[in-house]
Amino acid sequence: MKIAIASDHAGLRLKNILKKHFAEHEFIDVGTHTEDSCDYPDYALLAGEKVVSGEAEKGIVICGTGIGISIAANKVKGIRAALCFNEFMAEMSRKHNDANVLALGARVIGEDLAVRIAEVWLKTEFEGGRHEKRVIKIGKIES
């Protein structure tokens, strides 16, 4: 699977850990690549564009809390970014919301938990069915 991945300076370490842990996937790393202070919206946009264009199947975005980068990613038309703090949220964001971007907070959750959240999120499929109409309604809000 091709995954667009992005972080600001606060999420850089966790981004690199995830890339190493999930080495079986192909990552499109749109930055940042240094610990110099930077602006998370720039990287959320780049990752979101990769997902919407189809260049990446899914995306993972990381900042200190996950809040700012998830808000920014959700401004990209076609992105459904879910900020997840546990495995259950990750599972439901895929099953019920068809989230195409996972947002994580590097300063809020530990690295082991982040890996477990990403594992669940990457392997969980969208259930469709009654949830499909809700995802369609979300898309109509963007229009």
Helix segments in the chain, DSSP class H: 12-21, 40-53, 67-73, 87-95, 111-123, 130-142
Task: Single out the catalytic residue among 9, 38, 63, 84.
Answer: 63
User: CA Rg, the chain, in Å?
Assistant: 14
Q: What is the domain range of residue 30?
A: 2-142
Task: Single out the catalytic residue among 21, 25, 96, 131.
Answer: 96
Q: pLDDT tens-digit profile of 107-129?
A: 999 999 999 999 999 999 999 99
38 tagged catalytic: no
pTM, two decimal places: 0.98
Does residue 143 surpass a pLDDT of 90?
no
Does residue 18 surpass a pLDDT of 90?
yes
Phi, psi (rounded to 5 degrees) for 82: -120, 125
9 tagged catalytic: no
How many domains are there within the chain? 1
Q: Residue 55: give its domain's CATH number.
A: 3.40.1400.10
